[in-house]
Structure 1
């Protein structure tokens, strides 16, 4: 059966399930769901094996995990067509270009497309509908009802409102972890990337904490007003545990306080370490509400745990670092050995950890190499600006023979979607050029294929000084030659804003550092091998099946004999048992998949490892073993003819973008926030209908 036909069937099936999930979120706060649908479902699925938690498990958890597993299979089939120069080979849902155009450029939400704004408005509408449906019941809380509970009417309304605000906050929490599951299949199926989805995580995080904080404060006011402040110390055996909720909220507040931009940018380590409080936040939240209700928010967290465990397994390996290039503009290029089976698309990123600097800190960097042109090597470019990168630069400046490095990733788009354009305009500021290096290298590879038509490229790079021009040297691979660009229509407009004429000081040089890796250092490899999407789907499905078996055994032979489905078993103990079953299932299935792939591709890893001892590669006249190269005023000669350098001014972006010809023009912006906002404003002005904007940002 044709893979495109199978993918079409899967796509329609996923669409139907997605619409069904949306309908359930709309119906969840209504009396129809609570009084008719849920009792009918409970009557059929509540059993001695899964207990009273079965309805929520069936309605909320199973559909999402099924979508994630089928989405993995969908992406696996799409990967076979990834080398075709066809926009239909994307592994993602296609959206009309009009919906992807920026409609908001400045403001608290940043650059927002029409589709993103529509989704945001619909999500806010869902929250308003959920809370409004609950609050609509307030008139039924009469004095007679309040008297039966021994409180005043306003106090009863406050308590109910606090509960309903918490239920609304759980809607945000249910979606909170999807954007940070870097290797999940859910994001690429929707045409999203992990780094591009971080802003959704930020939005959801703020909404979650606002609602949960209001939930907690309202209950504290209620307890104080009714003389029940001792309720704050209540840890119920088979009901809501207030202490657990308070611990969860305190952990969330501490995490939330460190996420605001001023703290995150100026005290990154504080932000990084306090973010691990999510473990306290989620664990005590599960103890607070009980595992039965937690199945509503559990699917996103389940996928996050799978992704986090796979990242943990990948990070245990010390990666084989071959060499480094240190540019005079405080930019470092690190070159790692990699297996042939590891493939990735342009604009991908990896997370790098150097234990000698910090054992806990992981920093994202752009992958500049191309898996088609450089089958044995993966390169990342690092701008030395913060304390972590400055320490790395100092280490490379010292006489070291080896650097211990661990890597997670790479993560990136599921397809080369930029190939559908006639012209690509890439606007970068400073180190923002790094994502575009991988794009240009991909187009160099495509230009060599006779059946591929590559778009024209215009690179507009803005630098502060002429020293930064050495970054243009990185556009070609280390093994590049002038003929690499013969079939590629490339035009580079470089602007040096702080200087009015070329620098004459050639005393600064590009330094090359070559390392001597240990035999235990391994080349980079995909943690689940070349068929990673297929293996991920297998892990999701098999781990959930294993969880069902474990929790069925525990419920039938341990919980049910004591509880008989009357909800009298310890809520906290039941939650802990379910959490342990989830973690054991994920750890067992993911470890087995990783172990199988490691054994299968061990021979290839040994072949790549033999690279040690070979003569270092280098681009002509650029690198020598333990040598330096004098700084040149222009990049590599093969790029010089395509490069025009302007001194003492900034580019007229509007003119440069509007003068481009073609039915479809992709405009990519990377660099400082103001630059990306300016480019987005030009593309959203409505003066040209053929502009398709995309922002590439790592300012989290």
Structure 2
């Protein structure tokens, strides 16, 4: 048996070797992405047109792929290669255990400070602003280069005036710029992709980038369509609007794509989205028709420019579909007097996720099509067989769900489907000496998962944890029952007092507690059926190697199929008849092959993992019916005479101070926080989040570091 020094030396050598491998992979991924980006930068130039493009076409054009092969190699392959290699990188990173504590230099911390707080973009950090400006610079560079080169080649002729020719060229180049934006559009909404974790993003935190890109795309494509309509009108070619050519650009599908995009775009603006969410949700499904008509409009060869983002999104969407077909085991629900709901699901005991994770929930009895995202309030370490979410009764969907649970349920059960959870790759909050968490209303939900994780760490692992100050604001005293959910329903908390927790609760619309606030929490227990399954890992975040295998195998299969199609079907037709095979038909066949290959590879991977996961969990479903007391400790906060029920609850009461009749003075509280390394998080109403971000970025306190966790921009 080796002595301790030799053992530690071996461990250190393994860690160094692992670190070197990870650094090498990061470098390779960065170089590949830089090369892919360089192609986009050079594409508008004469160097690319006259030197690079002819060389690339001559070297890659073959009877198996044709011109499409060149675009696949240059635009699609690099991103898919990054995705697959990124899966390997994230697998090794997870295996090495380097994901627990994020590392942040003072320089990087300065870049993460908010620089824009108010305005249409919401809270924007310095690094986000820098990359946004670089992306806009790329768009301006490409557009100006295209126009400069194209205008220089224009000459006056008898058929059209010079300004008319410039109008047509401008419309064409706007389409190319819109195509560049589309190449990035679907990366932020691919929830299980390896691309977002590689740069430290989650699907929820990157939604705002999808929103920004979506607005830019629709502005550019709308201008593209207007330019062509004006050009056709002034040159008496309005019949072009009903042309659907077999070869080259097809106008009718382009117009249909633009119409779908405009309808989709009109419902995304905040006022419509918030007041008529169902309209927003259903109209957003028009993205399928938008992409289909866009494919028919430009053809498969040109579509390959934006293929990688869409390809990864299709894999992710199909895996989500497979997961959502399973009815998960809903163990219980807690109904609060504040009309909030806590749903407690059964979870695979070996399946872990990080705090601030998100799940998407569908309740067929409420709406068979709608999926709503919610932050997980539980900790996978503290509650190894439970996953909990909290839902506040606000919109029509949540109101119907609350009514459904408040009424007697048929067979004492509720069918629920789940997608996720999707979690951040690291727990950045552990790097701070102290945490300040500011919430408004149901915005307290994300912080529950953090507090429960810290409870586990301080009691089970005996690990150092940051001190916690929770500042929560509620409208009425009945909403204070949300604080009861800080403790899990099982009540299995060994010693809450070991966590340095202080809670400052503010009731803004009342001067004192009301009788209604003494209401108890009602707990509903559901009966299981054999078909119910615990929530199991998603392929991707919890099985990176499997996701890499699905991406690579499906893409290789797609290349084989289109190679066979091109070599043995399309080429003979074009050579024997001297005609160009219909672009639309070729596009549809390629789309069919993509769908078949993704469905086959993803289904095989999903079923293989499903058989391995669920075979071990049959007994777990049968052991989840032991009820717990249904009473609520909410009266602790009102000095009631009722006896406290447990030591953890007593510790929670002692840590809580309730203030009535006013809002928290956030500036005063935050600026008085001691400590050199304080993490500040905010969740809740937009105005409150912006106020907290403004205080942290004001420069009045250098020890405050704003940690953006917002799930809505």
TM-score, normalising length: structure 1: 0.95
Deviates more, 1:442-451 or 1:25-34: 442-451
CA distance in structure 2 between the partners assigned to 1:323 and 1:451 by the alignment: 31
- Matched residues in 2 for 1:10 and 1:656: separation? 44
**Cα distance between partner residues in 2 of 1:85 and 1:157:** 56
Return the offset for 1:695: 3.1
SS in structure 2 at match of 1:516: coil
- For structure 1, list consecutive stretches of 5 or more residues without a partner in the other structure: none
SS at match of 1:523: coil
Q: Provide the rounded CA distance (Å) in 2 between the counterparts of 1:211 and 1:528.
A: 36
Q: Secondary structure at the match of 2:66?
A: coil
Post-superposition Cα deviations, 1:386-429, rounded to whole Å, max 9, x if no partner, equal 11000000011111101010010111211111111111110000
**d(CA) in 2 for partners of 1:230 and 1:471?**
63
Q: CA deviation digits over 1:557-608, x for unaligned, max 9?
A: 1112223599821111111111111111111111000010011122222132
- Residues 210-609 of structure 1 mapped to structure 2, 5 A cutoff: 210-400=219-409, 401-450=412-461, 452-480=463-491, 483-505=494-516, 508-528=519-539, 531-563=542-574, 568-609=580-621
Structure 1 window deviating more from structure 2 (79-88 vs 118-127): it is: 79-88
- 1:59 corresponds in structure 2 to 74
Relative distance call for 1:16 and 1:143 in structure 2 (3 A) is closer
Deviation (angstroms), 1:33:
1.1
Match of 2:635 in 1: 632
CA distance in 2, matches of 1:123, 1:85: 32
Separation in structure 2 between the aligned mates of residue 317 and residue 450 of structure 1, nearest angstrom: 34
2:123 alignment counterpart: 111
**In structure 2, distance between residues paired with 1:413 and 1:356:** 31
Partner residue of 1:50?
A: 65
Say if 1:423 and 1:660, in contact at 8 Å, map to a contact too. no
Rate the CA distance shift 1:602–1:141 in 2: closer, same or farther, 3 A: same
* CA RMSD, Structure 1 to Structure 2 (Å): 2.0
| Cα shift at 1:81 | 4.0
User: Which residue of 2 is the match for residue 168 of structure 1?
Assistant: 177
Between the aligned partners of 1:489 and 1:173, the Cα distance in structure 2 is 48
Distance (Å, rounded) in 2 between the aligned partners of 1:84 and 1:233: 56
Closer/same/farther in 2, CA of residues 38 and 24 from structure 1, 3 Å limit: same
CA distance in structure 2 between the aligned counterparts of 1:530 and 1:410, rounded to whole angstroms: 9
**Is residue 13 from structure 1 mapped to residue 28 from structure 2 by the alignment?**
yes
CA distance in structure 1 between the partners assigned to 2:106 and 2:462 by the alignment:
24
Mapped to 1, the partners of 2:256 and 2:584 lie a distance apart of: 14
Corresponding residue of 1:666: 679
Aligned-residue offset at 1:87: 2.7
Task: Render the CA deviation track for 1:54-102: whole Å, top value 9, x for unaligned.
Answer: 11100110000111111111111122244875435x9xx9981111100
The correspondence of residues 66-105 of structure 1 with structure 2, limited to 5 A, is 66-82=81-97, 86-88=101-103, 96-105=108-117
1:611-650 deviations in whole A, cap 9, x for unaligned?
A: 24x422x3xxxx24xxx54741429322011111111111
Long gaps (5+) in structure 2: 1-13, 639-648
CA distance in 2, matches of 1:593, 1:57: 25
Aligned partner of 1:120 in structure 2 is 132
2:709 counterpart residue number = 696
- Alpha-carbon contact 1:141-1:157 (below 8 Å) kept: no
Residue by residue over 1:106-135, the C-alpha shift from the partner in whole angstroms, topping out at 9 and shown as x without a partner, is 001111000110111111111100110011
**Contact 1:45-1:55 at 8 Å conserved across structures:** yes
SS class of match (1:408): strand
Given candidates 676, 680, 684, the residue that maps to 2:693 is 680
SS at match of 2:40: helix
Alignment partner, residue 36 of structure 1: 51
Equivalence for 1:187: 196
| Deviation per residue, 1:358-386 (Å, 9 max, x gap) | 11000011111111111111111000111
Contact 1:421 1:665 in 2 (8 A): yes
1:645 to 632, 649, 658: 658
1:264-290 deviations in Å (ceiling 9; x for gaps): 111111110010100110011011111
Matched, 1:156 2:143: no
CA distance in 2, matches of 1:101, 1:374: 34
Tell me the secondary structure at the aligned position of residue 371 of structure 1: coil
What is the Cα deviation at residue 35 of structure 1?
1.6
Q: Is the 8 A contact 1:82 1:415 kept in 2?
A: no
Distance 1:315 1:85, change over 3 A: closer
CA, structure 1 residues 682+23, in 2 after alignment: closer, same or farther (shift >3 Å)?
same
For the residue of structure 1 that corresponds to 2:338, the secondary structure is coil
Instruction: Report the TM-score, using the length of structure 2 for normalisation.
Output: 0.93
Equivalent-residue separation in structure 1 for 2:98 and 2:618 (angstroms): 27
Partner of 2:646: none
Task: Indicate conservation of the 8 Å contact 2:533/2:614, yes or no.
Answer: no
Distance 1:574 1:118, change over 3 A: same
Over 3 Å counting, the alpha-carbon distance change for 1:409 and 1:516 in structure 2 is same
Measured at CA, do residues 402 and 691 of structure 1 come closer, stay the same or move farther in structure 2, by a change above 3 Å?
same
Residue 214 of structure 2: which of 205, 210, 218 is its match?
A: 205
- Change in Cα spacing, 1:95 to 1:543, as seen in structure 2 (3 Å) is farther
Q: Residue 319 of structure 1 contacts residue 521 of structure 1 at CA under 8 Å; is this kept in 2?
A: yes
Residue range with higher mean Cα deviation, 97-106 or 485-494: 485-494
The alignment partner of 2:617 has SS state of helix
CA distance change for structure 1 residues 377 and 106 in 2, over 3 Å: closer, same or farther?
same
